[in-house]
Each structure stands twice: as structure tokens, then as C-alpha cells.
Amino acid sequence: MITVEGIAKKYGKNSVLEDVSFTIPKGKIIGLAGENGSGKSTVLKIIAGVLESSNGSVKLDGTEVTRRSAERIAYLPDLDLFYPYFTGEELFHYYGSQFDDFHYDKACIVAQFLNIPLDVKIKKMSKGNRGRVKMAATLGREATYYLMDEPFSGFDPLVREDLIKGLIQFTDPETQSIFLSTHEIREVEPLLDGIIVLHNGKIVAQEEIENIREEYNQDTVTWLKKLLKEGDKVEQ
């Protein structure tokens, strides 16, 4: 289990996150929602151990998360951080040199499923194929936790559909957890067990998807829009 306790992040006098707390249980898919600038990417970077919080803590099975936690946490950033002169195959070999849990054969199977040409340099791939190869490299790892920052953002519906299918087919729902930030709530809602909503750096809701349907009698997108609209009214 990943336990986030009271994390905050400030850049000078600018507060990006304030007193954010939640847990990511093993075997769950949790969505992180919120408007642009709400702090979603900052949360993911802190959990992944690539950014230090100004306050609070993140623990992985009771142990403080550091950069070394990457051995158990597979982090897929929003930005393309790959070497543009790598081919897809070279990228996989690079991942194999960096992560003990990376399986080249599995990554190739994911790539085949997603129709990625592995002999093409990443800089010459379309945006859709760059997204697919990034997903294949991430899912090539057998990590306990997958952190994904907007993995479907900016892609056409067919690419998003492929990436979502890849998540379902190449992760184990019993032993692995996925924590992802996304604006494509309607498309990923069938995958999600729960959702956490950020607004201006603070958590304004944490709900199980089933509870949203049963207690609020709404789909998640309708519930989320109403929640954020009410949050704006309160702040005004």
C-alpha cells in the first residue's frame, strides 16, 4: 500500500499542494481528477520519488519513498522524456538496463498488441505511436504500482482505446495497482475502482466509483462536473 500523509508543495510563496492525504491499496485502479493546474502532476511526481514535498510523507508499505522506490514503482510521465534517437527496440533494451523487473519479451508483446513499429526511431514516430511505445515500455515492467500522468491525453479515440485495452490486458488486478491522472474520465470510468478529486491543490473528494452510482445516482463525469462547479462557488 502507498500511504500519502499530509503532503504539501510550495515554490516560494506559491502553494501548489496543501495537506493532501490518501492511500493507494494493492490491486486497485484509482483515478486522479481535477482541472489543469490543480496539482495532479505534482502529486504523481512526489509519489514516484522524483520530487520532494515541502511537508508530509509518502510511504510504500511503511517505508519512506525515495528515488530508489522506482524499483517497485513504474512511473509514466506526461511529457516525452525518452531519447529521440532510440528506436522502440533500443528503448526497451535501455529499460532493461535500468529496471530489474523489466521484461523485454513482455514489452514486445505489448508493442505487438498496440501495433508499434519497433524499428522506427522515436523522433520519427507519430504522437500516437510515441504514446503507445511509452505505454509498452511502462507495462514491460512487473511493478507493484504503476503511476501514470495523463496517459491518454491528446490522443485520438482509437489510440486511447488501444491504450486502455493495454492497461486491462497487461496488468494483474489482484497484485498490481494503477494510479492515473486523466481528463478522459468517461472513457476510463469502467476501469476505475475509485477516484480522488483535486481542486486548487486540495482534495475535495475521495469516492468509490460504485458509491457514486448508487448514492448519487450519477455517472462519474456528471458527479465530477457538479462537484467542481460547487467548489468554485464556495471559493467565490
pLDDT digits 0-9 by tens, 40-60: 999 999 999 989 999 999 999
Map 18-39 to HEC letters: EEEEEEECCCCEEEEECCCCCC
pLDDT value, residue 155? 83
Q: What is the pLDDT of residue 149?
A: 93
Domain 2-235 is in which class?
A: alpha beta
- Give the pLDDT confidence score for residue 234 in this predicted structure: 44
Can you tell me the distance from the alpha carbon of 144 to that of 154, in angstroms, rounded to the nearest whole number? 27
Q: pLDDT at position 70, please?
A: 76
Q: Are 2 and 59 in contact (CB under 8 A)?
A: yes
Q: What is the pLDDT of residue 67?
A: 79
Q: What is the pLDDT of residue 78?
A: 79
73 sits in which H/E element: strand 73-76
Low-confidence ranges of the chain (pLDDT < 50): 233-234, 236
pTM of the model as a whole = 0.91
pLDDT at 25: 92
Site of grid cell 511529457 = 79
CA atoms of 155 and 163, how far apart (whole Å): 10
- Which pLDDT belongs to residue 229? 80
Spans of all domains in the chain: 2-235
pLDDT in tens, 183-229: 888 889 989 999 999 999 999 999 999 999 899 898 999 999 888 88
